[in-house]
Amino acid sequence: MATATVLVTGGGGLLGAHVVAALAPDHAVEVLDLRRPAADVLFRPADMRDLDAVRSAVRGHDRVVHLAGIDDGTPVPDRRYMEVNVQGTWNLLRACEEAGVAKVVIASSSAAYGFGPDNPPAYLPIDEAHPLRPTRTYDLTKALIEQTAESFARRGGIGSIVCLRPTLIVRPEKAPEILAELATLTAAEGHPGFAVDAPRYGALPAHRCYVTSRDAAAAFRAALLADTPAFGRYVIAARDTLGGVAALPWFERVYGERPDVRAPDWFADTATASPLDSRAAERDLGWIARDDWPAVVRSVADARRAGA
């Protein structure tokens, strides 16, 4: 039996489908999106840029998960990213503030850090306190979304606002493509590459961090249910690296030098430990990544055998 109602914006999207599935067993889920979700849930078609439509959708809900936005690499003008991702988030938070919503969980991204060829991490492992230095428009929208959320939290009209920073999300249907790309890079002596050079989904981030869609969805569920402060932001990543690379030698190769390591035991215990530090989410949200890279590889192999 459903015990709570929750509005999921962007619930018809790629991540949204997994989040809706994670919430559906014990929530009455309503989806706000431009596309109808595959799941059998209440659906309200609306554009995040339409404040009145967003107000109408929020009314009657005390919890909201905000996933709606334009994904990285979508071929639209930069201003569209700003209108949908930033203005859309402002509209949602304004509507939630007016309605006195108790909890809002927002999809930010590790893209907010702005890592790229000329912007290496200041230190490892990368946590919530690491500076955000975005230059690309998509990355900038994620940083601005967090600033907007924190501003609304200071105003006090919403019980709690949580921003999650998932890294590259590995969905089951995309895992074979990612494995193939890894194999291609290995055959070419593993040129590091940067996501900014290849915006197509599956382009491997140079920091080699990832999280499975199942674990990412579980993080949104955990954030929704946890007792959280007025505002919080959390890194969401698997505990190991994409492809199982040793993180420190990899960073030295990509950037030409090794970043400052502030927690040497992080990599001393496990060479393939993720450069992204999710311990705050583990501590405050009770969330932990269940999947590791060997599990991703096994799942692809199992799917191939099943389809053979």
| Arithmetic mean of pLDDT, 199-211 | 67
Terminal alpha carbon distance of the chain: 39
Domain residue extents for the chain: 5-169+211-239+275-291
Label residue 3 by pLDDT band (50, 70, 90): low
Q: Tens of pLDDT along 111-158?
A: 999 998 788 999 999 999 999 999 999 999 999 999 999 999 999 999
Structural element, H or E, at residue 128? none
Q: At what angle do helices 293-307 and 175-187 cross, to 10 degrees?
A: 110
pTM: 0.93
pLDDT value, residue 203: 55
Residue 275: is its pLDDT beyond 60? yes
CB 242 within 8 A of CB 223: no
| Arithmetic mean of pLDDT, 12-17 | 95
The SS3 of residue 235 is strand
3-state helix, strand, coil in the chain (%, to 5): 45, 15, 40
Answer yes or no: CATH 3.40.50.720 is held by domain 5-169+211-239+275-291.
Answer: yes
